[in-house]
Structure 1
Amino acid sequence: MKCPHCLAELKYRERRDKKCPQCRKQFALEPRENALKMSDLRLRGLAERLSHQGTYRYTPTQLAHFAIRRELEPALKNGWVWKEPSTLVAAILFGAVFLIGMSCILFVVAETRSLSAAMTAILFGLVFGLAAAGIYYWTARSSNPYRRLLPVLETFATTYVSPWTSVHGPLPGQTTDQEIAALRRVPLHPSRVRAVLASPVAAVLDCLRINGLSERLGLALLPTDGPYLEADERTLALLRQNPRLPLLLIHDASVAGCLLPALLPGKWGLAPNHRVIDLGLRPRHVKQRRLPWKREQTPQELIDLLERRAQTPGGPGLDKDELEWLRQGFVTSALFIPPAQLVDVVTKAVERLAPAPVAAPPRTSAQSVDPEAQAQATARAVGFMTWPQR
């Protein structure tokens, strides 16, 4: 490991007190003592890569998902499979190969009773043993390594980020919980809303806030589940008043996520023809990007509902492989999408669906508008429920 201060190469016996024997400065992370084998330099490198050298900001949860994705990158490139292999099938194959090999050995030895035949049988046995070992190795290599790293997500901030910041200060692009909480309390005025983006993943909304998309694009951000703040209620009222106001969705690649475009309008009391744009994730995105995935218990009624929706015109547009993947209960979090890609996708969607209005030329006195008529026009456009209470 290299010292993060003087870059001296340190052996394990030289750094057991987490101090460099060369410069006598402390470091934060010992690679042998954490599940990701993370060092100070590696964590800083991950933060720089995720933030594009500090250009984009991220939430702690996004950094944790990025670290796991980087840890799994070799497996995702070389051993990634669309569907999780069945352990039962692997056990049957292993047992069949082993039994066939042993049967051949016993048969040859029993029939010939000669040394050369026995040696030949042993050779065949070794071949069958190697084949069985190969099946076992393939199964272990193709099995999902993401599951063993799930506990890292829950403790990433305390195990990795906090020790690092206590020694070195903030990571590149790092955002504190206090900053995120403060931005959540700053609503976008209804008159500035060009589009609404909803997500069940709170960190996705926080990522868009801390990167300035709400203010820059006129994008109102809503959680799909309550409780809703007063500003959220005003945004919901605005959606109900204006069916043409674009509603963008970002969700996990899951059964519940793929059902969100169909269920959310009814849940929020929107018009049946409301303009809803699903930005993903979808199973095909998981496959294209070779993202990590896990398996969760999915209620059968949700699976049945998704399959019925998939057969109706204007449904979720899932192919057979995607439906089968979802039917097995596989899930991939939207937090595996880096902030740069998230910001780019949302920015392009808003600019395409809700172009910024072109500034009108200054009005002359002859073109002046009666203030009362203008107020009534604004009321019709916004809706009286969004007005502030006096």
Structure 2
Amino acid sequence: MICPHCEQSLLRRERPGNVCGKCGRRYALDPKTNPMKLNDLRVRRVAAKVTQDGQVPCTVGQLWYALSRRSLRDTQVDLGCAGALTVAGLIVTFVGLATAAVVAVVGGLLLAGALGFVAAEVMGVGRGRPRLDRDSFRTGPMADWRHVYGALPPGVLDDGRYPSPPAGQPESAGADTPGGPLLVCPDRSVAVFLDAMGLPARYGLTLVAAPDTLVSRTPAPVLVLHDADARGLGLVHRVRAARPGRPVFDLGLPLDAVYGKANAVPVRGEPPTASAMEPLERSGEFGADQLRWLRQGWGFPLVAVAPAKLLDAVTRAVERVGALTDPERRRAASVGFLTWPDGGTT
């Protein structure tokens, strides 16, 4: 790897304990010792890209996706093992044919193992599975980074806790100010980002993480921001069921903006339950292929949308909702109010 300080190439034996053997300075991440195979230079480079060289911040969760994006496209199959098994199998089989049948059987088993690796690669085993989950990234590589450098990479915001209510507002999430809209956003990383960009303060929004915290007695509109996966897409249905008669607006992320897009790299989690899929199947909003994709646990997280694009899309949506709920401006508002960039990833 390249030392992030002196930029000298280092062999594994030349960097014991994450200390450069040439300049003597400590670095945070060694690609040989972390599941995401990160190094300091790559983290800095990707962070600079995501934040547009510091023009807009990003959270740890948004950085996690940007760093995971490349590996999410790949399977977790080691074809090097397949090659080794193939060579060993051919040699053992050749020797076995000349000596003992049992040896040839062993060779055949080695070749079968090699074919298993190849089949797993073709089937895409492990594709879409993060090498490290988001929380482990924050408490692992990013904690190591802080230990070495004293702070997160430039422009990266800590998303360890959900944003607190504004000063003077009750701590209970959902005790919104009279008439103020509620923005339901379960993703802590995205909520921290929007709060840091001043969106709630600018539009009088109250951020809440879950629909069951909506305790307000006011008829204020509810805006729902969610991932494009089975649970996220079903969130709007749950909010509407929990608060009948209250205006509920789906801000996205819409599945059509990312599904099947070449530059949109999805994440695969646990398959959703039948109860989670039921409202989506009943709604008629999704095609058979999309429903099958969602049932397999695939989805596209909000943290995958580039921060600047995310802020722009949510801002425009909030403004359009304001127009739709304002009697004086309603007549001028158009029907469709949220346009997400196709495959709007980092």
2:320 aligned residue (339, 352, 359)? 352
2:267 maps to amino acid = W
Aligned match of 1:30 = 30
Residue 224 of structure 2 aligns to which amino acid in structure 1? L
Matches within 5 A, 1:241-252: 242=220, 245=221, 247-252=222-227
What is the SS of the residue equivalent to 2:206?
strand
Task: Name the structure 1 match of 2:118.
Answer: 137
Of 300, 307, 313, which residue of structure 2 is paired with 1:339? Answer: 307
TM-score where L is the length of structure 2? 0.69
Give the number of the structure with larger relative contact order, counting CA–CA contacts within 8 Å between residues 6 or more apart. Answer: 1
Q: Tell whether the 8 Å contact from 1:61 to 1:153 is kept in structure 2 after alignment.
A: yes
Instruction: Pick which of 158-167 and 298-307 moved more.
Output: 298-307
1:363-382 alignment runs, 5 A limit: none
Shift of the 268–192 alpha-carbon distance from structure 1 to 2, 3 Å rule, reads closer
- 2: distance between equivalents of 1:256 and 1:17? 42
Cα distance between partner residues in 2 of 1:221 and 1:309:
27
- Whether 2:288 is the aligned partner of 1:308: answer no
Q: Which residue of 2 aligns with 1:158?
A: 139
Asked if the contact 1:296–1:331 (Cα under 8 Å) also holds between the matched residues in 2, the reply is: no
The amino acid of 1:159's aligned partner reads: G
Of the two, which has the highest radius of gyration? 1
Match of 2:335 in 1: none
Contact 1:199 1:223 in 2 (8 A): yes
Runs of 5+ unmatched residues, structure 1: 77-129, 311-316, 357-390
* Aligned twin of 1:277: 250
SS in 1 for 2:226: coil
C-alpha distance 279-148 of structure 1, shift in aligned 2 (>3 A): closer
Report the counterpart of residue 189 of structure 2 in structure 1: 203
Q: Percent identity?
A: 28
Residue 70 of structure 2 is matched in structure 1 by 70
- Using the alignment, how far apart are the partners of 2:18 and 2:276 within structure 1? 51
Q: What is aligned with 2:60?
A: 60
Scaled by the length of structure 1, what TM-score is found?
A: 0.62
Map Cα deviations across residues 289-308 of structure 1 (whole Å, 9 max, x no partner). 43223142322233333222
In structure 1, the partner of 2:270 is 296
Return the alpha-carbon distance in structure 1 between the equivalents of residues 208 and 127 of structure 2.
30
The structure in which a higher percent of residues are helix is: 1
Counterpart residue number, 2:231: 256
User: How far 1:185 moved relative to its partner?
Assistant: 3.1
| Paired residues of 1:192 and 1:218 also in contact (CA < 8 A) | no
Query: Per the alignment, do residues 8 and 72 of structure 1 end up closer, same or farther by CA in structure 2, a change over 3 Å counting?
Result: same
Aligned residue number for residue 291 of structure 2: 323
**Structure 1 counterpart of 2:240:** 265
Shift of 1:343: 0.9
Structure 1 CA distance, aligned partners of 2:159 and 2:190? Answer: 14
Distance in 1, matches of 2:292 and 2:128, equals 20
Give the match for residue 365 of structure 1.
none
Please state how far the C-alpha of 1:262 moved relative to its aligned partner. 2.5
Tell me how far apart the structure 2 counterparts of residues 34 and 54 of structure 1 sit (CA, whole Å): 26
**Which residue type is aligned with residue 41 of structure 2?**
L
The one-character-per-residue Cα deviations of 1:331-362 (angstroms, maximum 9, x if unpaired) are: 33333223222211101212333259xxxxxx
Measure, in 2, the Cα distance between the counterparts of 1:341 and 1:142. 33
Aligned to 1:186: 166
Counterpart Cα distance in 1 of 2:257 and 2:123 = 19
Change (3 A) 1:146 1:153: farther
Equivalent position of 1:167 in the other structure: 148
* Separation of aligned partners in 1, 2:22 and 2:245: 65
Aligned residues: 284
Question: Does the C-alpha gap of structure 1 residues 298 and 149 become closer, same or farther in structure 2, counting only changes over 3 Å?
Answer: closer
Structure 2 CA distance for partners of 1:144 and 1:199, relative to 1, 3 Å: farther
Supply the AA of the counterpart residue of 1:276. F
Q: Is the 8 A contact 1:35 1:152 kept in 2?
A: no
RMSD of Structure 2 on Structure 1 (CA): 3.5
- Do 1:284 and 1:322's aligned partners in 2 also have CA atoms closer than 8 Å? no
For 1:4 and 1:136, locate their aligned partners in 2 and report how far apart those are by CA, in whole Å.
36
